Structure 1
Amino acid sequence: MLFDRVKRFSKDEAGGMLVLMLVVFFGITIFGGLAVDLANHERTRTTFQTHLDNAVLAAASLSQNLDPEEVVRSYLTSAGLDPSEVAIDTSEEKIGGILVGRTVEASLPAGLNTYFFRFFDIDTLGMTITSEATERVEDIEISLVLDVSGSMTERSSDGSRMIKLDLLKNAASDFVETILSDSEEGRVSISLVPYSTKVNPGSALLGQYTATQEHDYSHCVDFDASDFTNLGINTRAELQRTGHFLIGSDSTWTPMTGQWVCRFDGGFAVTPLSSSPAELKTQISALTGLGSTSIDMGAKWGLALLDPSAQDPVSGLIAAGQIDPAFQGRPHVYGADNSMKVLVLMTDGENREEYRLKPEFASGRSDLIRTTYGSSTYYTVESSENWSENDGDRTYPEAYFYAQHPFGSQRMWSTDTIANNSGYRFADRASEERLDWPEVWAEMSPYYYGYNMYGRRFDNYWSYRAALYRDYVQWTVDATEKDRRLRQICGVANAAGVVIYSIGMDVDNTNSLNLLKDCASSEAHYFDVQGLEIQTAFDMIAASISMLRLTK
């Protein structure tokens, strides 16, 4: 009986599909559960990876000054993760004490409790999250500020006895070649800023700013003390154009001797944001030494061309075809990622007085009348004759002093200008023009004017009166004030993150050496050199900056 039942059951196919469905159901449930565990694992890994990536990116940033390890741990804590297990490795690259690159690596072990893998005796799915971030300097903006004052034409103090300017030209040319050789397009720019008594930005660059228009003989501007509290130059604020006049002359015979306050000779104008070694080296080779020393003026223009306020002028010069379009948007804002601003400031001396014309002699109508006929030029001063200036003739007072005239060499006054004087036989063919003050100073020095147009009105003391007049029409910013301005703007630049290298060549003034040292970003960025050592200084600076360029 029992045997028959078993035999019938084995042949009975009713309910077979149910068994199959149960097997399939349990299989789907188990593998679906495993998939849920795996999906949770991947979602958790992705979340952890995102938080760790953000942490190491923030830690690697060159713009943050905190401990990179603390930055990573802080980020993980803020994300609700346990930072105690994270392993962090940090490496930094420095040049002359300046941080130029940072790499942060982090590894975070973690695990996820399972729901279905535990049926296979797997309670936890482990994971290790890793992340790495590197930030390095890539874009480099350099202002090369060079002293080309008169003392640079002297021989160096070392045994070579070579001309200092020649040594500077060689060193600066090699510097340019080293920095720009094989540089990636649009990455590295050099602005060349020569200076002596003033800096001449040139007509094109100054034309991108707002300057007064007393003359167009030269293109320097005057800065006030407040202009050295910031690095940029406001393109909308009116700049005072420097008076175009000669200093350092005591000639009474030659009107055009002395030194122009604002030099306009070849090579002296600023070259902004160039990446052409040939262009820069051509200008360097054309440099000549003349004039006084204004280190503060050189630093001001050098830093202005590193300041973001120069972006509009740079755009204007790009549109005019004078700057490479690759530099659109330069100079970068301070603290921009992967960028660095560098000022190289060189001098062979110390700040000297800066000469300026008084406003009443810088523009407007003068008292001088110029009369010309053929190759002859005469000058008449409109100034009423007084008792101390009487020329001894019977007419008194007369309105015009003939400073230089066709009637001989004696002091002479007249009631008419030369072209209206009936005694001058070419009067009807002579041309006559009242000069503005800028036209006067373009033709003669203040001392020459003071002697011939003013002093000779009197009977005596002509040279004494010439010196008085020269000092009357001009004023100076003294060296102490200029030192204060330089120290102030260097402080602002260092606070903004500009890397400043300073070079003193054959400088024997302790105050000037201390000023250069204070201006530099650190003692490692300051070079006190003699003669041929200037080559070594520029080579060391170039090598440091080239290392920045090569860390891309």
Structure 2
Amino acid sequence: MTQKHQSTQINRKGPVPRLATFVRSEDGNLFMLAVPLILIMAIWGGIAVDLMRFESRRAMLQGVTDRAVLAAANLNQTQDPKLVVRDYFAKAGMADQLAGDAIVNQGYKRREVTVAGDYELDTFFMRYLGDAYKTLSAQTVSTAMQGVGAVEVSLVLDLSGSMANTIGSTSTTRIEKLRTAASSFVTKLLLPEYKDRISISLVPYSEQVNIGPDLFDLLKINPGTKHNFSHCIELPASEFTKVTFNDSLFYEQTQNIQTNGYGSGSYRDYNNPNLDQPVCPRFDYERIIPISQNATKLTTAINKLQPRAGTSIFLGLKWATTLLDPSFQSVIKRLPTGTIDTSFAERPEPYDPDKSKGQTIRSLKYIVLMTDGYNDNSYRLYSEHYDDPSERLYWAYHNLPWVTYSSAGPQAPEARFFSRTNKFYTDTQGAGYMDSMCDAAKTAGIIIYTISMSGDNNGPQDIAGRTAMEKCASTKNHFFKTSGQELNEIFDRIAKQITDLRLTQ
């Protein structure tokens, strides 16, 4: 009896009380919150899977496109470039992802190939977000060119007095090393297979740039400053903020005077009565040679260069950009017949191709700027000492420092020198002008290589000069520092980079 009663009590504690306990329990609340979170995570995980699949396939397609275009553009392979591209895509299992045949622009010793790929991925998870996400599309385009298209180069060479310094412990001077290296650079660019495509403008500079009588006679010159001893012009500050050349301005001709005797034994040579290093370079081999492919003419001039006077890097740079900028084409077209090869009649060409004229490849423009120093002060006589023909004739044959030293008076020679002259371009102005010109040239699309030949000179001005040259270069890889020993290799490397195979996207 007792056992039966006990059994009945146990049964009453069975399913019904347990169900009530379950209903009152709060343990399941987290589960109710977790269910939607798990669903959201599953959705985002699915999207991530689709995007990873898409990016993996897109990267594979881009890789095949790049490899195919490089192989097709290679001049050493003799197969049809279009067939080469198809073969690359087929072997990668992507034949159906080649978006039409490759576009091939073929020229003498030059080939440009453009390839496009197209791929659509069917999504696993994103399709449930709507019809717009059922597929993801990827397009790839690559262009490669081997050989050389239209290339314009301004070669800007420092022939200032410090170029007479020797290199390290050798007896070789900087100018001797430069003559060899720059001549090699010219011959490597102006090979027969690049005929009518590469042009070089030679811009020698020291304290000024001699543009030569042909260009000089095409510009508007202030009659009150004109003489026949040399052919340099002074540029206003506004001209150093842009790459364009203002053909409408009246320019002052640079005074034919000597204020800097560097290379003759002292900064200002008070012992030499003769004018042998005027501000404006005066010899024919010191003049600009514009837009040329005549390697003999260019190397002949380079091999005659001699150290002289001071340093105005910014002026060399300004003329380098002028000879690359389309705004100067109107002046170039007026040069005497035969000065510029007929194949370069439209140079300086526009920075971008004109599709309306059938141009498909832009003209690449390069500046190779070399110096062994930094921008320095440059002096001119006050106008009252240079404002009539007799004064201009006198200073064309007399060294200004020697005259001030030899003339009598209560002042010391240096004081007499500064009483007649002013700083026409200061070193600070020159540095600022150079900085502005570098920025303007790079913005326009000109590629700038810079070479600092100051070596291990660690004076404040030398360091500042190297820093300015590095900043001017298109990238850090376009800047070269040398004491001179490696100058040949540097110029050779630049020549190779200009003419080598390149890939663009």
Is this a same-fold pair by TM over 0.5? yes
Choose the corresponding residue for 2:364, options 340, 343, 359.
Answer: 340
**Residue 23 (structure 2) aligns with:** none
Distance 1:133 1:155 in 2: 48
**Residue 487 (structure 2) aligns with:** 534
Could you tell me how far 1:215 is from its partner in structure 2? 0.8
Choose the corresponding residue for 1:547, options 487, 491, 500.
Answer: 500
Choose the corresponding residue for 1:166, options 155, 176, 185.
Answer: 176
Give the secondary structure class of the aligned counterpart of 2:439.
helix
Distance 1:138 1:348 in 2: 32
Q: How do 1:85-234 residues align onto structure 2 when only pairs under 5 Å count?
A: 103-107=114-118, 134=143, 136=145, 138-157=149-168, 159-213=169-223, 214-234=226-246
For residues 456-512 of structure 1, give each alpha carbon's deviation from its aligned partner in whole angstroms, at most 9, with x where no partner exists. Answer: 3x5xx4xx3543332122211221111111011100111111000000113432111
Q: Does 1:443 align with 2:377?
A: no
Provide closer, same or farther for how the CA distance between residues 254 and 173 of structure 1 changes in structure 2, counting only shifts above 3 A: closer
Provide closer, same or farther for how the CA distance between residues 536 and 466 of structure 1 changes in structure 2, counting only shifts above 3 A: same
1:138–1:548 Cα contact (<8 Å) kept: no
Supply the RMSD in Å over aligned alpha carbons. 3.1
2:162–2:372 Cα contact (<8 Å) kept: yes
Provide closer, same or farther for how the CA distance between residues 151 and 135 of structure 1 changes in structure 2, counting only shifts above 3 A: same
**Residue 517 (structure 1) aligns with:** 470
Amino acid at match of 1:482: G
**Residue 77 (structure 1) aligns with:** none
Could you tell me how far 1:358 is from its partner in structure 2? 2.4
Provide closer, same or farther for how the CA distance between residues 504 and 475 of structure 1 changes in structure 2, counting only shifts above 3 A: same
Q: Does 1:321 align with 2:269?
A: no
Distance 1:257 1:481 in 2: 26
**Over alpha carbons, which structure has the higher Rg?**
1
1:90–1:102 Cα contact (<8 Å) kept: no
1:156–1:506 Cα contact (<8 Å) kept: no
The structure in which a higher percent of residues are helix is 2
Give the secondary structure class of the aligned counterpart of 1:335.
coil
Distance 2:101 2:478 in 1: 26
**Residue 468 (structure 1) aligns with:** 415
Could you tell me how far 1:265 is from its partner in structure 2? 2.3
1:160–1:531 Cα contact (<8 Å) kept: no
1:135–1:338 Cα contact (<8 Å) kept: no
Give the secondary structure class of the aligned counterpart of 2:333.
helix
Provide closer, same or farther for how the CA distance between residues 217 and 443 of structure 1 changes in structure 2, counting only shifts above 3 A: same
**Residue 351 (structure 1) aligns with:** 375
Amino acid at match of 1:227: E
For residues 118-159 of structure 1, give each alpha carbon's deviation from its aligned partner in whole angstroms, at most 9, with x where no partner exists. Answer: xxxxxxxxxxxx9988474610000000001111111012x5
For residues 232-276 of structure 1, give each alpha carbon's deviation from its aligned partner in whole angstroms, at most 9, with x where no partner exists. Answer: 221221111101101136677753256211111241111011101
Between the two proteins, what is the percent identity of the paired residues?
A: 32
For residues 330-356 of structure 1, give each alpha carbon's deviation from its aligned partner in whole angstroms, at most 9, with x where no partner exists. Answer: 101122333100000000111111122
Distance 2:376 2:413 in 1: 23
Distance 2:478 2:153 in 1: 15
Choose the corresponding residue for 1:479, options 424, 427, 434.
Answer: 427
Provide closer, same or farther for how the CA distance between residues 283 and 90 of structure 1 changes in structure 2, counting only shifts above 3 A: farther
For residues 62-96 of structure 1, give each alpha carbon's deviation from its aligned partner in whole angstroms, at most 9, with x where no partner exists. Answer: xxxxxxxxxxxxxxxxxxxxxxx9766999xxxxx
Amino acid at match of 1:535: N
Provide closer, same or farther for how the CA distance between residues 522 and 475 of structure 1 changes in structure 2, counting only shifts above 3 A: same
For normalisation by structure 2, the TM-score amounts to 0.66
Q: Give unmatched runs, 5+ long, in structure 1.
A: 1-55, 61-84, 92-99, 110-129, 365-434
Could you tell me how far 1:548 is from its partner in structure 2? 5.7
Distance 2:435 2:208 in 1: 18
Distance 1:131 1:251 in 2: 65
Amino acid at match of 2:286: F
Q: Give unmatched runs, 5+ long, in structure 2.
A: 1-64, 70-95, 103-110, 121-138, 262-267, 354-360
**Residue 437 (structure 2) aligns with:** 489
Distance 1:511 1:359 in 2: 33
Give the secondary structure class of the aligned counterpart of 2:449.
strand
Give the secondary structure class of the aligned counterpart of 1:495.
helix
Give the secondary structure class of the aligned counterpart of 2:274.
coil
Distance 2:503 2:290 in 1: 23
Could you tell me how far 1:309 is from its partner in structure 2? 1.4
**Residue 402 (structure 1) aligns with:** none
Q: How do 1:15-94 residues align onto structure 2 when only pairs under 5 Å count?
A: none
Choose the corresponding residue for 2:278, options 238, 243, 260.
Answer: 260
2:160–2:311 Cα contact (<8 Å) kept: yes
Distance 1:89 1:475 in 2: 67
1:446–1:473 Cα contact (<8 Å) kept: no
Could you tell me how far 1:313 is from its partner in structure 2? 1.9
1:140–1:188 Cα contact (<8 Å) kept: yes
Provide closer, same or farther for how the CA distance between residues 350 and 451 of structure 1 changes in structure 2, counting only shifts above 3 A: closer
Give the secondary structure class of the aligned counterpart of 2:240.
helix
Provide closer, same or farther for how the CA distance between residues 90 and 450 of structure 1 changes in structure 2, counting only shifts above 3 A: farther
Provide closer, same or farther for how the CA distance between residues 183 and 294 of structure 1 changes in structure 2, counting only shifts above 3 A: farther
**Residue 74 (structure 2) aligns with:** none
The structure in which a higher percent of residues are strand is 1
Could you tell me how far 1:549 is from its partner in structure 2? 9.8
Larger displacement relative to structure 2 (347-356 or 257-266): 257-266
**Residue 274 (structure 1) aligns with:** 292
Larger displacement relative to structure 2 (443-452 or 324-333): 443-452
Amino acid at match of 1:140: V
Distance 2:174 2:503 in 1: 32
1:222–1:242 Cα contact (<8 Å) kept: yes
Provide closer, same or farther for how the CA distance between residues 438 and 547 of structure 1 changes in structure 2, counting only shifts above 3 A: same
